[in-house]
Amino acid sequence: MSLAITSAISLNPSKRVLPGFALSLGISLLFISLILLLPITGLLLQTAGMSWNEYWSVISDPRVVASYKVTLWAAAWASAFNGVVGLLLAWVLVRYEFPGKRIVDALMDLPFALPTAVAGITLSALFAENGWYGSILAEAGIKVAFTPLGIIVAMSFTSLPFVVRTVQPVLEDLAVEDEEAAISMGGSDLTVFRRVIFPSLWPALLTGIALSFTRSLGEFGAVIFIAGNMPYVSEITSLMIFIRLQEFDYAAASAIASVVLLASLILLFLINIWQAFYLRRIHGR
Amino acid sequence: MKTFKKAKSIVAAIVLGLGVSQVQASDQSLLNSSYDIARELFASYNEHFAQYWQEKTGQTVEIRQSHGGSSRQAQAIIEGLRADVVTFNQVTDIDILHQRGKLVPADWREQLPNASSPYYSTMAYLVREGNPKNIQNWDDLAHEDVSSVFPNPKTSGNGRYTYLAAYGYAQQAFPEDQDAIDSFVRTFLNRVAVFDTGGRGATTTFVERGIGDVLITFESEVNNILAEFPDQNFEVVVPKVSFLAEFPVAVVERHAQRNGNLELARAYLEELYSEDAQRLLAGFNYRVHNEVVQQEFSEQFPEVELLTIEQIAGSWDSAMEVHFASGGKLDQLQRR
């Protein structure tokens, strides 16, 4: 409790670094409106010319529905994979010292820096049956490039930094004393991880996984080169939107886009609610 | 849309820059808006034309080129890019210039010989060394052990031509039997290994990734790929029946008039039909109508029965509506 009070007091002066609450809030709201709300409104307005029946028939077209399933499954697998690997990477980067650590740390952001189309082409070259990884996997009878598995690979590549970068700072702030106390009280490694470390990391990890998931829902550039894009099998929802745009059917494109947008918003909203609830429970605030 | 606008402004900036720097150098200048892969072709033709124009009129001319997906090029012109002539690879992209803004006359197809298409091509196959699956015609592509690669007809003109060629073949093979036609084309579509969004992507998939037994694309492209990867020993197969892929041209009259270029623009397109220019075009693996040149290049272009869009679907408008629109024939045939 005292910790919360002191931090509240110490935070107070820093609020005044920026001039005037009204001004800073005003700029923030204006920015949010211009950059976020206006384009989203524009998107929804594109669909305004459609009747409800037209809208429904566009978003419930069997091929589009198949693409939702492919996209959702692939994004789920990719973000689950990223949850495990991202946690591991963040752990290694925070808890261990090793030569070249800074380079590895910098490399984590590479998927964000790389144009996604380049990532897609590179991954499909590596995972094609005549590629470095693909030829080895082919011997085991696993095909990655031009299958739904390729979609998972591309999605997981482009969204891995979300998990690493959200977990890393929380892990850095985690007091080592808590762990030491737990160990001195006879907790096994597993118990310490499960009962002490993991509960503190969990909200950040979940946020990272959720960001990774929503990013994967919308990924286009990287996926398109490795997916194979077979109707009903490996077509992602972004491709459905792209096809409608090619047909100059902006309303239908926006209709499908609005489904993706809604799914992402609902997910992020639920995670936020759950997180607030969870934090209140473990911190007793 | 945003990137498109940006690309447009970059193009405009380049064009402007070139224009300014070359105003003093040449008496006249002309902007040719063209499709993606025609850069080398028109660079070479422009040289030819500049020389021809100088001999004829004593004036020097500077021809500027703009290249991109031809639908996007059309969009840019509608939105204000002041191109004098268009040299596209899809009839529908010039039609839209008339429909949205009356930039070209309604009868633009009648302004020049051969429906304003100075050269043409067709859909041909590139197969692997020795043609192990013995692919000769469209029916071979429906065999169970054959996998083919061509771009998605939904996103690429190239893919649409391939679909229409297969459909036209089926119409001939199964006259008056719509069920048999549909079932053939459905099988043909099911044999596709990968649907890339564009022609270049499909080439990469076939050549670099080693996917598929056959790549289907323009005959001109097939020959370019063959020349580009000599060590792969690909082979070219031209099917007995295929689709007439026209490469239409038109003067953007509204713009050419404003630029004071109408005469020059017309001459630029008419000269494409001259024997020398036709020889130049044939050198880039396009088929031409000039009989002398046809004779000279007869070995390079095997005989093929070419089906027109009118034979297959009546017109481009009805092809787009019946086959490629959402829920159209293509969608139905791809449905599981």
Q: Do A31 and A106 reside in the same domain of the chain?
A: no
Residue B223 tokens, joined: 């020959």
Specify the CATH number for the domain of residue A211.
1.10.3720.10
Rounded to a whole number of angstroms, the distance from the CA of A109 to the nearest CA of chain B is 24
A11 domain-assigned = no
Which residues of chain A are within 8 Å of residue B193 when distances are taken between CB atoms? 146, 228
Digit-coded pLDDT (tens) for B11-63:
554 444 444 444 446 788 999 999 877 888 999 999 999 999 999 999 999 99
- Round the CA-based radius of gyration of chain B to a whole number and report it: 21
Q: Do A111 and A129 reside in the same domain of the chain?
A: yes
Q: Do A39 and A63 reside in the same domain of the chain?
A: no
Q: Do A31 and A150 reside in the same domain of the chain?
A: no
A132 domain-assigned = yes
Which residues of chain B, if any, have pLDDT below 70?
1-25
Tally Cβ neighbours within 10 Å of residue A272. Answer: 12
Name residues whose C-beta falls within 8 Å of residue B34's C-beta, 6 or more positions apart in sequence: B42, B65, B66, B67, B70, B73, B86, B87, B88
Q: Do A107 and A140 reside in the same domain of the chain?
A: yes
Q: How many domains does chain A have?
A: 2
A150 domain-assigned = yes
Pick from B246, B156, B226: nearest CA to B192: B156
Which residue does chain A place closest to B192, by CA atoms? Answer: A230
> Looking at residue B23, what is its pLDDT?
43
A165 domain-assigned = yes
Contact B197 A61 (CB under 8 A): no
> Looking at residue A281, what is its pLDDT?
83
Digit-coded pLDDT (tens) for B81-108:
899 999 998 898 899 899 988 999 999 9
Digit-coded pLDDT (tens) for A95-119:
999 999 999 999 999 999 999 999 9
Q: Do A198 and A213 reside in the same domain of the chain?
A: yes
Among B70, B147, B152, B335, the strongest candidate for a mutation testing the A interface, having the largest count of A CBs within 10 A, is: B152
Rounded to a whole number of angstroms, the distance from the CA of B334 to the nearest CA of chain A is 7
Pick from B207, B75, B90, B101: nearest CA to B158: B90
Residue B248 tokens, joined: 């239409």
Rounded to a whole number of angstroms, the distance from the CA of B127 to the nearest CA of chain A is 17
The separation between CA B285 and the C-alpha centre of its own chain, rounded to angstroms, equals: 12
Residue range(s) defining the domain that contains residue A25: 17-49
- Give all domains of chain B, ordered by start, each with its CATH number: 2-120+246-296 (3.40.190.10), 123-242+304-334 (3.40.190.10)
A95 domain-assigned = yes
At which residue do the structure tokens 């309303």 appear?
Answer: A251
Q: Do A169 and A234 reside in the same domain of the chain?
A: yes
A10 domain-assigned = no
Q: Do A157 and A253 reside in the same domain of the chain?
A: yes
What pTM was computed for the model? Answer: 0.83
Which residues of chain A are within 8 Å of residue B336 when distances are taken between CB atoms? 62, 66, 231-232
Q: Do A247 and A194 reside in the same domain of the chain?
A: yes
Distance CA A64, CA B111 (A): 43
Distance CA B320, CA B160 (A): 9
ipTM of the complex: 0.78
Q: Which of A49, A70, A90 is the last residue of a domain?
A: A49
Tally Cβ neighbours within 10 Å of residue B291. Answer: 10
- Find out whether A213 and A75 touch, Cβ atoms under 8 Å: yes
A7 domain-assigned = no
Contact A125 B155 (CB under 8 A): no
Among A35, A238, A247, A254, the strongest candidate for a mutation testing the B interface, having the largest count of B CBs within 10 A, is: A247
Q: Do A208 and A77 reside in the same domain of the chain?
A: yes
A37 domain-assigned = yes
Residue B163 tokens, joined: 């679909």
Q: How confident is the model at residue A12 (pLDDT cuts 50, 70, 90)?
A: low
> Looking at residue A6, what is its pLDDT?
39
CB-based burial, A14-34: b 16+ in 10 Å, e otherwise: eeeeeeeeeeeeeeeeeeeee
> Looking at residue B156, what is its pLDDT?
85
Distance CA B228, CA B240 (A): 25
Q: Do A255 and A118 reside in the same domain of the chain?
A: yes
Which residue does chain A place closest to B201, by CA atoms? Answer: A225
Q: Do A136 and A61 reside in the same domain of the chain?
A: yes
Sheet (strand B123-127) strand order? B192-194, B148-149, B214-218, B123-127, B235-237
